[in-house]
Structure 1
Amino acid sequence: MDSQIKHIHQQLVNKEITCTALVQDRLNLLKQNTHNTVNTLLDTLALELAAKVDAKIANGETIGLLEGIPFGIKDVYMVQGTTTTASSNLLKNYKSAYTATAIQKLLDAGAIPLVKENCDSFGHGSSSENTIFGAVKNAINPDLVGGGSSGGSAVNVAKNYTVFSIGGDTGGSVRQPAGYNNIYGLKPTYGRISRYGLMAYASSTDCVGPLAKSIEDVRIVLNIMSGKDVKDQTTYASAEINEASILNTEGIKTIGYFKNFIDNDAIDAQVKLDFLASIEKIKAKGIEVKALDFFESNTLVSTYYTLAMAETASNLSRLDGTNYGNRIESGSLKETYSVTRSENFSEETKRRIVGGNQVLSQGFSDAIYLKGLALRDQISANFENDFNEVDIILSPVTPSTPPKIGDSLKDPHAMYLSDAYTVGFSLGQLPTLTIPQGTATGLQISAAKNNDELVLKFANFLKDTI
């Protein structure tokens, strides 16, 4: 299978390239890039680690598959000693005291971090425009948004600035920018990868996810990061996914799609035509296709944002300039808290905090928040029933193509609706993969919980089918 990781690994082992030259080349590309993907360049650390890899190779020592492979990190992950800003004014000078579990596993495997990547502030956005570092520009057309919130991570992979990057997916923040930039992006089953050291947005749906240019690279990185972590009680032990297993797709007999997603007035006409054409190609391979009923996209978006805003209001309540962040002194302690938060949070973050506090407040929580929790349970039950009928659910990643930079900021409601096809799978905590095929922004493959392997299998099948 295609794999940049394996190709570079072989080049290093064969001494066709040095790790130092490889890393310096990618650092130069990141320095020169005009897509606003870089928050902090980790050049000193990267070159130190590269020199160690070169020394091992020179001494005839065996190196691991990920050893010496350059990667990027969305700027919401703690990496000890590095600045972790969440692309926010509040944390623009904050330095991590520890390293996130998922990132530490990659470092232990020898992968080399190059960059902390630009994103929507605290993950609040679907375009990577809500950032103090300037809007991330799309890898294919720089007049368009890079997608969000992991826009910098997706663009860096698409432009070959990093071999892979680690994003964060709460309601589609890996999958949507992957689709906008024509690469692969995986949201694994909730709990498969530890969230420890990832700045929390909505804790019940936050997932660590890899972005890469091949299914094989996604598989390799997923295996390294997966596993139970005593620091995150939502994690579980998971079996390694091997390459041979995802080459065998004979067990996939039936797929489904949500007909209300496709018959929706909001979907772009070309996206609809391309999706239906992909369905026909799958049918031609002898796979049964079923049209399924699901919740309306407006219901999914409303449920997701009700719960996500409530959780982010709670999670960000600790950021008042006392223990963390850029404190702005005022006349009293209460005023200091107020000014610090109002001046340092982005408009979108403030919108989500206010909305979250509203749905949690007395008089509203029963009518709104508890209803959202009940709807999430119904959505999960719907998925359980669907996966008794089909092996895979296929959907477009987005209803339309990427907007121009600036358009989403003028219309936050339209930005929320761009998540219509991704948030349902987040609420269901399902493994879901964006592939760069089928429509202008790709296709989304989902399976039942813990069936991440099946998602990669079907992606491999589609690679040669559509």
Structure 2
Amino acid sequence: MESQIKALHQQLVTKQITCTALVKEKLELLKKNTHNTVNSLLDTLALDLAAKVDAKITKGEEIGLLEGIPFGIKDVYMLQGTFATASSNLLKNYKSAYTATAIQKLLDAGAIPLVKENCDSFGHGSSSENTIFGAVKNAVNTDLVAGGSSGGSAVNVALDYTVFSIGGDTGGSIRQPAGYNNIYGLKPTYGRISRYGLMAYASSTDCVGPLAKSIEDIRIVLNVMSGKDAKDQTSITSSEITEDAILKNTVKTVGYFKNFIENDAIAPKVKADFLQSIEKVKLKGIKVKELDFFPSDILVSTYYTLAMAETASNLSRLDGTNYGNRIEDKNLKETYAVTRSENFSEETKRRIVGGNQVLSQGFSDEIYLKGLAIRDQIAANFTKDFEEVDIILSPVTPMSPPKIGDSLKDPLAMYLSDAYTVGFSLGQLPTLTVPQGTQTGLQITAAKNNEELILKFANFLKDTI
């Protein structure tokens, strides 16, 4: 699909449509939708901004490429004056006091926010079922999960309720739902986009990223959001990626992890489709190399050890004292306990308990520090791999999307669905889901700060597979 952003921009500047009409159309779709993608509509704000865009066009003033383009925001981002619930009972009435840097950059470019989107509570889940707003339904088959935790964002894009959406990816939370709903989803290099104003899940792997229906729209949005931010000391400076730069493929060597494919956990169809994709790449004259990597069970256990530890620490501040849905009890200690017990989801409580166990005296040396050491080994493994290959290709998930309800019955199966995404998160690498190659797409990964190469290869795959 060609760029929706560019197509709509052209229609706006040539007055084929008005921005107000465009926004009203999208809002109406969101109001009527039965996929549980909406936590709150930003209709008053959106229509006010649309009227200003229309006024500029009427006066003959030039508008920017993103000006007047409607988008969605996963409900873990701050947008001043709007609800920021994290799909949780604890924050169901909380309103943002400020705006996240990434969202502010989009507002400064003129993009129009329509909706705060449903997701797994605090990002805890791989199915968008752990939410007070009801399970998000897959865009292709409503009996199936939408993926998580950015499920509402992915479905809104897939069904054209938003032109693009901003998700959050900690261990695969953009890439997996993008794959489940047959769209593009990018987890950039850690730090390329500021995390300021994103509710923290696991601070060492949390990433801001876009979901869209085209590579070009991913590029446009990525450029706008990227950059060093004084409010986020982990943010980095990055170069703009031009449209011309991604049109010609320069990838000569592709690698894939053979233990991902020669694995009992992978569905036969996913395996067969992936290997067929590899053969098509070879036919184009690109060298393909098998790579060795850590077993998927080690990746999953390492990721969840560190992520649970970090989320236990990050969520310790949520006790109803400063903000949130406070439940009074007989004393302060019991108030804290009942507030957290009644307001956190079962999955969030599971992760907090696991994280506190990992960090507790007598366990931290044996478990947490070992997890940190394995993460260092994973990063070293990637450094070696990218000396041998330009990019790494992998399935997004080992299986097709489960039915709604199945993941809630089996949390371990839900964790294992992240087997092919968490390794790249631990390595803090840029990774893009593309809707080709297998039922849940393919994942393209490059060395840090090499999003340009990923987008080049994505364009190549679009015409190859």
Q: Equivalences for 1:310-325 in 2 at 5 Å?
A: 310-325=309-324
Q: Distance in 2 between matches of 1:377 and 1:355?
A: 22
The residue number in structure 2 matching 1:197 is: 197
The residue number in structure 2 matching 1:348 is: 347
The residue number in structure 1 matching 2:70 is: 70
Give CA-to-partner distance per residue, 1:146-172, whole Å, 9 cap, x none.
000000000000000000000000000
What letter corresponds to residue 348 of structure 1 in structure 2? E
The residue number in structure 2 matching 1:216 is: 216
TM superposition shift of 1:350: 0.1
The residue number in structure 1 matching 2:392 is: 393
Q: Distance in 1 between matches of 2:64 and 2:157?
A: 21
Q: Distance in 1 between matches of 2:456 and 2:303?
A: 28
The residue number in structure 2 matching 1:245 is: 245
Give CA-to-partner distance per residue, 1:268-294, whole Å, 9 cap, x none.
000000000000000000000000000
The residue number in structure 2 matching 1:139 is: 139
Give CA-to-partner distance per residue, 1:279-322, whole Å, 9 cap, x none.
00000000000000000000000000000000000000000000
What letter corresponds to residue 92 of structure 1 in structure 2? K
What letter corresponds to residue 354 of structure 1 in structure 2? V
The residue number in structure 2 matching 1:112 is: 112
Q: Distance in 2 between matches of 1:53 and 1:355?
A: 49
The residue number in structure 2 matching 1:269 is: 268
What letter corresponds to residue 321 of structure 1 in structure 2? G
Give CA-to-partner distance per residue, 1:81-137, whole Å, 9 cap, x none.
000000000000000000000000000000000000000000000000000000000
TM superposition shift of 1:419: 0.0
Q: State the SS of the aligned residue for 1:115.
A: strand
Q: State the SS of the aligned residue for 1:303.
A: helix
The residue number in structure 2 matching 1:417 is: 416
The residue number in structure 1 matching 2:173 is: 173
The residue number in structure 2 matching 1:449 is: 448
- What is the alpha-carbon root mean square deviation over aligned residues? 0.5
What letter corresponds to residue 123 of structure 1 in structure 2? G
What letter corresponds to residue 340 of structure 1 in structure 2? T
TM-score, length-scaled by structure 2: 1.00
Give CA-to-partner distance per residue, 1:186-210, whole Å, 9 cap, x none.
0000000000000000000000010
Q: State the SS of the aligned residue for 2:178.
A: helix
What letter corresponds to residue 271 of structure 1 in structure 2? V
Report whether the alignment pairs 1:226 with 2:220: no
Q: Distance in 2 between matches of 1:431 and 1:452?
A: 6
Give CA-to-partner distance per residue, 1:210-239, whole Å, 9 cap, x none.
000000000000000000000000011100
Q: Distance in 1 between matches of 2:279 and 2:248?
A: 22
Report whether the alignment pairs 1:83 with 2:83: yes
TM superposition shift of 1:248: 1.6
Give CA-to-partner distance per residue, 1:396-432, whole Å, 9 cap, x none.
0000000000000000000000000000000000000
Q: Equivalences for 1:363-378 in 2 at 5 Å?
A: 363-378=362-377
The residue number in structure 1 matching 2:125 is: 125
The residue number in structure 1 matching 2:35 is: 35
Structure 1 stretches of 5 or more lacking a match? Answer: none
TM-score, length-scaled by structure 1: 1.00
What letter corresponds to residue 373 of structure 1 in structure 2? L
What letter corresponds to residue 21 of structure 1 in structure 2? A
Q: Distance in 2 between matches of 1:113 and 1:346?
A: 27
The residue number in structure 2 matching 1:381 is: 380
Report whether the alignment pairs 1:15 with 2:21: no
TM superposition shift of 1:457: 0.6
The residue number in structure 1 matching 2:302 is: 303
TM superposition shift of 1:252: 1.0
TM superposition shift of 1:390: 0.1
Q: State the SS of the aligned residue for 2:464.
A: coil
Q: Equivalences for 1:426-441 in 2 at 5 Å?
A: 426-441=425-440
Q: Distance in 1 between matches of 2:4 and 2:449?
A: 26
The structure 1 segments of at least 4 consecutive aligned residues displaced by more than 6 Å after TM superposition are none
Report whether the alignment pairs 1:359 with 2:358: yes
Give CA-to-partner distance per residue, 1:37-87, whole Å, 9 cap, x none.
000000000000000000000000000000000000000000000000000
Give CA-to-partner distance per residue, 1:425-447, whole Å, 9 cap, x none.
00000000000000000000000
The residue number in structure 1 matching 2:61 is: 61
Q: State the SS of the aligned residue for 1:464.
A: helix
What letter corresponds to residue 68 of structure 2 in structure 1? G
Aligned length: 465
The share of aligned pairs that are identical, in percent, is: 85
Q: Distance in 2 between matches of 1:267 and 1:126?
A: 17
TM superposition shift of 1:2: 1.4
What letter corresponds to residue 145 of structure 1 in structure 2? V
Q: Distance in 2 between matches of 1:299 and 1:209?
A: 26
TM superposition shift of 1:324: 1.3
